[in-house]
Amino acid sequence: MTHIRKAVFPVAGMGTRFLPATKTIPKEMLTLVDRPLIQYAIDEARDAGIEEFIFVSAAGKGALEDYFDTASALESRLTAAGKTDALASLERTRMAEGSLCILRQAQPRGLGHAVRQAKHLIANEPFAVLLPDDVIKGKKGALAQMVQAHKNVGGHMVATMDVPLAETSKYGVLDVAQENGRLAHARGMVEKPNPNVAPSTKAVVGRYILDSQIFDRLDNLGPGAGGELQLTDAINADVDRVGVTGFLFEGERFDCGSVQGFVQATTAFALDRADLRDEFASFLDDRALRLRLVA
């Protein structure tokens, strides 16, 4: 059994960068090839041994709840039609009874506020936080890698990736005290620093393992950047008390909270599929050739 059994998924955002699609469809339900973004996050969590899944959601996100519910009428029709492959594809959408809990974040007051909603369900256990916008493609899930490493270091752990110095202003960045392989023991994190003063090039992405003491910090945290409760501020407050470690995961991260990142992820995942690769690659080659001829 893993020592990390519970995971929080903040899914209350409006997804304004994808309007008008997200007028009626939750951002987390946008389809990457043939799975919604939330399914990629759930699959990664399951592979890491997560047993309890906590959604911090908002009004108008009923499609998330419906997606993980049993579709009895659909399954009956597929069974009657003998469509076994289609039936099998629904398996990953099923959640064990009692394993999914959906909370409501009444007001969008930041990531720290979203995580704090789960306090009564986490109790005194370390837990994971996954941001579905960040889709990570690799042989082994990023969270599973982190869970394995966390057994040895404890405390708060954040997923990191190396970025060009010029791009540090787009991310929270680790202030590194000491490095040991894929682990970077930190003095804290700096939110979107100017490249001239960035403490490192280790950018923090949307995977966290947090000690339950984070809730003590969140309970006493005042508004930070943008007037919101920032998870980064709470983690920084725990550097000396609990410890903060960055973990450089193996894999490729796509920012599917942006249209550009979503399209890139769609391309990468489609090219990784044996049933799509050849025809899709040929299509891309043809399009690229047309662009070169026009230029």
| pLDDT at 21 exceeding the cut of 60 | yes
Measured over all CA atoms, what is the biggest interatomic distance in the chain, rounded to whole angstroms? 64
Q: Is residue 286 part of a domain?
A: no
Count Cα neighbours of 254 within 13 Å in the Cβ-side half-sphere.
20
Count Cα neighbours of 283 within 13 Å in the Cβ-side half-sphere.
8
**Tens-digit pLDDT profile for residues 163-213:** 999 999 999 999 999 989 999 999 989 888 999 999 999 999 999 999 999
Going from the C-alpha of 132 to that of each of 32, 56, 270, the distances in angstroms are: 12, 12, 19
Q: Is residue 229 part of a domain?
A: yes
- Between CA 112 and CA 10 the distance in angstroms is 10
**Tens-digit pLDDT profile for residues 52-81:** 999 999 888 888 888 998 888 998 998 999
Instruction: Find the domain containing 22 and state its range.
Output: 6-257
**Residue burial 34-47, b: 16+ Cβ < 10 Å; e: rest:** eebbbbbbbebbbe
- Between CA 265 and CA 138 the distance in angstroms is 12
pLDDT of amino acid 97: 84
170: which residues sit within 8 A by CB, 6+ positions away?
163, 192, 203
**Tens-digit pLDDT profile for residues 234-262:** 999 988 888 999 999 999 999 999 999 99
pLDDT of amino acid 114: 92
| pLDDT at 291 exceeding the cut of 70 | yes
| pLDDT at 226 exceeding the cut of 90 | no
Q: Is residue 267 part of a domain?
A: no
What confidence category does residue 225 fall into, taking pLDDT thresholds of 50, 70 and 90?
Answer: low
| pLDDT at 1 exceeding the cut of 60 | no
C-alpha angle 81-85-87 in degrees, rounded to nearest 5: 70
Q: Is residue 166 part of a domain?
A: yes
- Between CA 204 and CA 191 the distance in angstroms is 9
What distance, in Å, lies between the first and last C-alpha atoms of the chain?
57
Q: Is residue 265 part of a domain?
A: no
Total number of domains in the chain: 1
| pLDDT at 2 exceeding the cut of 90 | no
Task: Tell me what the pLDDT averaged over the chain comes to.
Answer: 91
Distance of CA 239 to the CA centre of its chain: 23
- CATH code, domain with 132: 3.90.550.10
SS3 178: strand
pLDDT of amino acid 223: 73
pLDDT of amino acid 109: 80
Q: Is residue 294 part of a domain?
A: no
What stretches of 105-148 adopt beta strand conformation (E)? 127-130, 134-137
**Tens-digit pLDDT profile for residues 72-117:** 899 899 899 989 888 888 888 888 888 999 998 877 788 999 999 9
Q: Is residue 285 part of a domain?
A: no
**Tens-digit pLDDT profile for residues 114-155:** 999 999 999 889 999 999 999 999 999 999 999 999 999 999
| pLDDT at 161 exceeding the cut of 70 | yes
Is the Cβ–Cβ distance between 59 and 68 less than 8 Å? no
> In a 10 Å sphere around its CB, with 0-12 CB exposed, 13-18 middle and 19+ buried, how is residue 76 labelled?
exposed
- Between CA 278 and CA 255 the distance in angstroms is 25
What confidence category does residue 283 fall into, taking pLDDT thresholds of 50, 70 and 90?
Answer: very high
Q: Is residue 278 part of a domain?
A: no
What stretches of 91-182 adopt beta strand conformation (E)? 100-104, 127-130, 134-137, 156-162, 172-180
Instruction: Express the helix, strand and coil content of the chain in percent, nearest 5 each.
Output: 40, 25, 35
SS3 201: coil
- Residue in the structure block whose two tokens are 């009895």: 72
